[in-house]
Structure 1
Amino acid sequence: MNRKVVQGIVRTMIGLAGAALCANTAQAATYIYVSNADSQDISVFRMDESNGALAAVETVAVGGMVMPMTFSPDHRRLYASLRSQPYRVVSFAVNPLDGRLAELGRAPLAESMAYLSTDATGRYLLSASYGGNQLAVNRIGADGVAGEVQQTIKTGPMAHAIRVSADNRYAFASVLGSDVWLRLRFDAATGQLTEDAAPAYALPWKSGPRHFVFSADGRFVYLIDELDGKLHVLAFDRTRDTVKPIQTISILPADFRGDKPWGADLHLTPDGRFLYASERTSSTLAAYRVNGTTGRLERIGTYATQKQPRGFNIDPSGRYLFAVGQLSPTMSVYRIDAETGALHETGQYPVGKGANWVEVVSYAGSNE
């Protein structure tokens, strides 16, 4: 079956699903996607909205070391990076009725990409290469399928993440080996990036900046280090797209005994009240309360999780957190206490080998 026929079927499927959801809001659903690098597949689950329990939907073989994933802004497409040769991005259509994935196409990536994101329009796929020391932009077609590489930009060693600001005027990128956070002007009409002469923020030597998130109101940036066990809070000037540091806090448990810290991922709850960070050496999640006025963090607690937790995520309601470990065959689900931000484990579920990335999406009938 050729690509045009597949896309036609998928468009029909999505259209029918959307119509069904419009007609019946009771079909609102949340789906969890876990990329498993070593088993070369994606695990798909559906969440019970009443208690956070998961039911397995399907396991999708991708034929490569699948790692970072990202959704399109409209959540109709899921993009997955293959970090084994040939380096590719796989574009999937998501069926909102059952969460199943339908592959739409594959396109080359500039290198082995450790991070994927899209711009605010969904027309461009941005990526960062840890091994290739570069950032790249791929076009995304009107059908939501990622296409050719249109630009690459060399960075210092170990580029690790790239995301656009809320207004889509700039992209920011963390470069672990250079200890810098870059600012790049983004032209939304052409998808072109232009790097500033100086980094937006220079971090301490051998801190190893890795992932970062913007607060929902755009006033703060939270940036986790890989190498020194630290998390930085930066005040973000939305007019000038510049930052200044306001706090640095540890992600390590009080009884940390490892040879070296190994920070990984961080996520805010959608309401911005709580932030969580994963640390791989101790296999823990650190939880923080966020001061909505100052952006500063207050430690809530430390929670044991799956072994070597490279990735985790939070559902759009902010009620549940899903964590996987690269050296664990299971995913933990935690209920987030709405008052305190404390985590309470509610279950564990089998995933593939080398689980490393989690994406979560919710479809509400009234919004379709």
Structure 2
Amino acid sequence: MNIKTTLRVIAAALTFGILMSSAQAATYVYVSNADSEDISVLRLDQSNGALSKVETLPVGGTVMPLALSPDHHHLYAGLRSKPYRVLSFAINPLDGHLILLKASPLAESMAYLSTDATGRYLFSASYGGNQLSVNRIDTNGLAGDPQQSVPTGPMAHAIRNAPDNRYVFASVLGSDAWLRLKFDAVTGQLTQDAVPAYTLPPKSGPRHFVFSPDHRFTYLIDELDGKLHVLAFNAANDTARPVQTVSIVPPDFSGDKPWGADVHLTPDGRFLFASERTSSTLASFRVDKKSGTLTRIGTWPTEKQPRGFNIDPSGNYLLAAGQLSTQMSVYRIDKQTGALKAIGQYPVGKNPNWIEFAQFEGTL
């Protein structure tokens, strides 16, 4: 089946999907497994948090970062083994299966992928290549060749657009910097500011970050010092100022050094979760929506070395994978307290490290 035929099939499926009843709405889970070189696809039962297997898809390389298109119709997967590539998949909304449409080169081995707000450009950050890069995405949702690379300090780790899509921000672990780059949404070009948007203490190692749903705050996790930073984000001029710094390690932490990994907010912005790999724990915080500040709720053990986790679009469930585990744990999030309750454990591949959700809502 060629690309044009495949796209027509997907378009038909999407049209049919619009006609589904609300009872047929579906949430699919995608887990990249670096060492088994495949992607686990599962379906999440929203009524009870149970997962059922859809497929395990071999991809022929060390697959790590994943990114969804804004409309959830396409999934992009970065391969960190040579040749460095991004795979563009169509998502079948009827059953969650992935259909590979195109493989395109990446400028380097990329630790992070994301798209701009329009879905027309794919951003990437290279930990080993010390750079950021942009690939254009065509009208069919297929990522093309790299069109720009921007040198950074050592170990660029994450890149995301600001909510207004006028700027892009990037964390650079080795230079303890959170960069701001002006983004031209027409041409896809990035222009880096002369100074970082925020400079962290030496050897902090900034890693991943998220914006609050109301766009007033940014939450930035460090890899090296076990800290999480709250930044007040001014959406009028896309600038940030520090508000609070908290620890993500457990109170009884006894490891040689912290190893922060990932951070996510519930869709309503009420609770924040962070993963720490040395202790293999998840930390939960209550968010003060007015000030953005965090109050610790508790710490929960999870899969060994939890590099990646995510929260489903309903905000009811948290899924966590561990690099040294071939299992993924499912937790129910208490919407009143922010506490986690383990409700299931499911097999995935070797070195699972990234989790994404695609949800398709049915209407009568």
With the shorter chain as reference, the TM-score category is over 0.9
Q: Using the alignment, how far apart are the partners of 2:86 and 2:134 within structure 1?
A: 12
Q: Secondary structure at the match of 1:365?
A: coil
Tell me how far apart the structure 1 counterparts of residues 7 and 170 of structure 2 sit (CA, whole Å).
Answer: 34
State the one-letter code of the partner of 2:243.
Answer: I
- Equivalent residue for 1:285, pick from 266, 273, 282: 282
C-alpha displacement at 1:320, in angstroms? 0.2
Give the Cα–Cα distance (whole angstroms) in 2 for the partners of residues 86 and 16 of structure 1: 33
CA distance in 2 between partners of 1:15 and 1:213 (Å): 34
Structure 1 unmatched ranges of 5 or more: none
Which of 257, 269, 277 is equivalent to 2:254? 257
Aligned to 1:37: 34
TM-score normalised by L of structure 2: 0.99
Report the 3-state secondary structure (helix = DSSP H, G, I; strand = E; otherwise coil) of the residue aligned with 2:170. Answer: strand
What is the one-letter code of the residue matched to 1:338?
Answer: K
Within a 5 Å distance, the mapping from 1:1-368 to structure 2 comes to 1=1, 5-366=2-363
The runs of at least 4 aligned residues of structure 1 exceeding 4 Å deviation read none
**Cα displacement (A) at 1:21:** 3.5
CA distance in 2, matches of 1:307, 1:342: 20
Q: Which amino acid counterpart does residue 127 of structure 1 have in structure 2?
A: S
Could you tell me whether the CA contact under 8 Å between 1:138 and 1:149 is conserved in 2? Answer: yes
- Aligned 8 A contact 2:10 2:90 in 1: no
Q: 1:48 Cα deviation (Å)? A: 1.2
CA distance in 2, matches of 1:299, 1:182: 28
Q: Is the 8 A contact 2:154 2:174 kept in 1?
A: yes
Contact 1:107 1:147 in 2 (8 A): yes
Shift of 1:129: 0.1
Give the Å deviation of 1:365. 1.0
How many angstroms does 1:7 deviate by? 3.6
SS in 1 for 2:153: coil
Cα pair 2:273 2:282 within 8 Å, conserved? yes
Is the contact made by 1:262 and 1:281 (CA closer than 8 Å) also made in structure 2? yes
The residue identity in structure 1 corresponding to 2:355 is V
Give RMSD over aligned pairs: 1.0
Deviation by residue 1:234-291 (Cα, 9 ceiling, x = unmatched): 0001111111100000000011010010000000000000000000000000000000
Instruction: Output the CA distance in 2 between the equivalents of 1:147 and 1:83.
Output: 17
1:11 maps to amino acid: R
Q: Contact (CA 8 Å) 1:230, 1:250: kept in 2 or not?
A: yes
* Letter aligned with residue 152 of structure 1: S
Q: Equivalents in 2 of 1:7, 1:257: separation in Å?
A: 56
CA contact (8 A) 1:7 1:104 kept: no
Query: How many residue pairs end up in the alignment?
Result: 364
For 1:28 and 1:156, locate their aligned partners in 2 and report how far apart those are by CA, in whole Å: 44
- Residues 162, 173 of structure 1: 8 Å contact kept: yes
**d(CA) in 2 for partners of 1:216 and 1:352?**
32
CA separation in 1, counterparts of 2:175 and 2:136? 28
1:12 positional shift: 1.9
- Percent sequence identity is 69
In the aligned structure 2, how far is the partner of 1:279 from the partner of 1:7?
A: 44
